[in-house]
Amino acid sequence: MRMARRTSTRSSRTHARSVSDDFLEFTSSVHFDHRLWRYDIAGSIAHANALADAGVLTQKELRRTVTGLRRIAKELSEGRLELDPKLEDVHMNVESLLTSLIGGTGAKLHTGRSRNDQVALDMRLISREMILDTVSEILALQDCILDKAKESGDSLLPGYTHLQHAQPVLLSHHLLAHFWRLDRDIERLIECYGRTNISPLGAGALAGTTFDLNRLLVAEMLGMEGVTANSMDAVSDRDFVAELAFDLALIMVHLTSLCEELILWASQEFGFVILPAGLAGGSSMMPQKRNPDIAELVRGKSGRAVGHLIAVLTLLKSLPLAYNRDLQEDKENLFDASDTVEVSLRALTTFLAEIEFDRERMGKAAEVGLMTATDLADFLASKGIPFRKAHSAIRKISIESGGDERRFAELASDAASSLLGYKSELPDGFLSPMAAVERRNVEGGTSAKAVKDQIKKAKRSIQRTRDSIASMRTQCAKVHELVRT
């Protein structure tokens, strides 16, 4: 079958006379909504089946329509067709191509449907796939973090607050903190997926349709979990876009925290990280330099995701019901935010996998800065001294020691005896960093046992995510099964 030459399908929003090229250039969305063609065709195939179920299309017309739509999908996927920007958007292009291919039957496809519910459906379908892809990339980074945590064994490093030495922690514990941030990101995305995966098709322009269309049939064919409850809300709702934009922005915020630490740790002042030669940048002037370019770029790209979130929220502010052309502007923001997050996750996972930690230097850093002073205050509190009183006394000897670890240890026994009213010797090794770590054996703490329990929880969480991915992938595959490219 040979593809017929396209005829011009005129938008119902344009006048019979020709509009200016400037107007078309300003209003056309083909240059970015072309990404929706697969979802638009899948939705059209599902809608055609609903029209046949309602008696609007005969079975023969249904077969011709579905065959034609799949032919268009095949040629688009192979790059043998180009969308015409003069036809305004991807929806009008697909309809025009179909009508050119199968004639008048193609013109029946828009029965009972508006571009308003059509684009709302397409955006939901592509958004759920973006969510699936993003969750998969986060999972890969989580796997990498978990591997690094397991490899680090009993390696110590300073824990920081205000970027000052605070208390010693296991390197595995520190890495797992980033794991759990990403885990919350996954939870939010999966919840967003559930609210996104609802079909608006059948809402029409805003009031529904006079045709007896089985909306649940359409939803089922597309792997969606139900239909929208209100036709006006269905065509105007972009909550799922704003929610996804927020989730993506927060992911980037979390990535910047990990990147900032890697950048600091790679500096000579810290020296905790050895950058992989093949994944570090150099200097055009200074031959000795090795720079954490990937971490810096991910940190920098966060501004795009945050900016897109603000743009989406501003776009939605004060919009009246139901559809408004403003909503055309949601796509570029969401698409770029999604692309940015996916490429950042992929790059950071590759980078982190190749990084080496200088555990010896980390361990030595954990021994300075009087980081077990809190343990001494806790020891006194366990003997009945009010914590605030113990805290004040230990602060005084911290100042008196001048930050010298040995001097602090000498003063510690005297301070304890003075406060307790009897001679008190601290247990051997009480003020060592590893002893301090092992004492923090509460759930979620930094002791070896607590971290081992964390790793078990992390493994279970990863398995739950894999199960969710499998379920989402089955639903998203419905689009590709319908299109069959």
State the span(s) of the chain assigned CATH 1.10.275.10: 21-111
Query: In this structure, are residues 66 and 45 in contact, taking their beta carbons and an 8 Å threshold?
Result: yes
Counting as low any pLDDT under 70, the low residues of the chain are 1-19, 283-284, 286-287, 485
> Quick one: pLDDT at residue 18?
56
Superfamily of domain 118-152+179-215+222-360: Fumarase/aspartase (Central domain) (1.20.200.10)
> Quick one: pLDDT at residue 179?
98
State the span(s) of the chain assigned CATH 1.20.200.10: 118-152+179-215+222-360
Query: In this structure, are residues 34 and 83 in contact, taking their beta carbons and an 8 Å threshold?
Result: yes
Q: What whole-number distance in Å separates Cα of residue 137 and Cα of residue 256?
A: 16
Positive or negative: CA dihedral 260, 288, 282, 356: negative
Among this protein's residues, is 162 annotated catalytic?
yes
> Quick one: pLDDT at residue 44?
98
Report the percent of the chain where pLDDT is more than 70. 95
> Quick one: pLDDT at residue 375?
85
Question: Which among 151, 139, 146 is positioned nearest to 183, based on CA atoms?
Answer: 139
**What is the dotted CATH code of the domain comprising 21-111?**
1.10.275.10
Tell me which residue has tokens 């301090």. 436
Compute the chain's Rg from CA coordinates: 30
Q: Which of 283, 392, 417, 418 is catalytic?
A: 283
Q: What whole-number distance in Å separates Cα of residue 343 and Cα of residue 368?
A: 39
Amino acid identity for residue 429 in this structure: G
> Quick one: pLDDT at residue 27?
74
> Quick one: pLDDT at residue 450?
97
Among this protein's residues, is 461 annotated catalytic?
no
Q: Which of 12, 162, 284, 318 is catalytic?
A: 162
> Quick one: pLDDT at residue 409?
83
> Quick one: pLDDT at residue 29?
81
**Distance from the first to the final alpha carbon of the chain:** 17
> Quick one: pLDDT at residue 7?
41
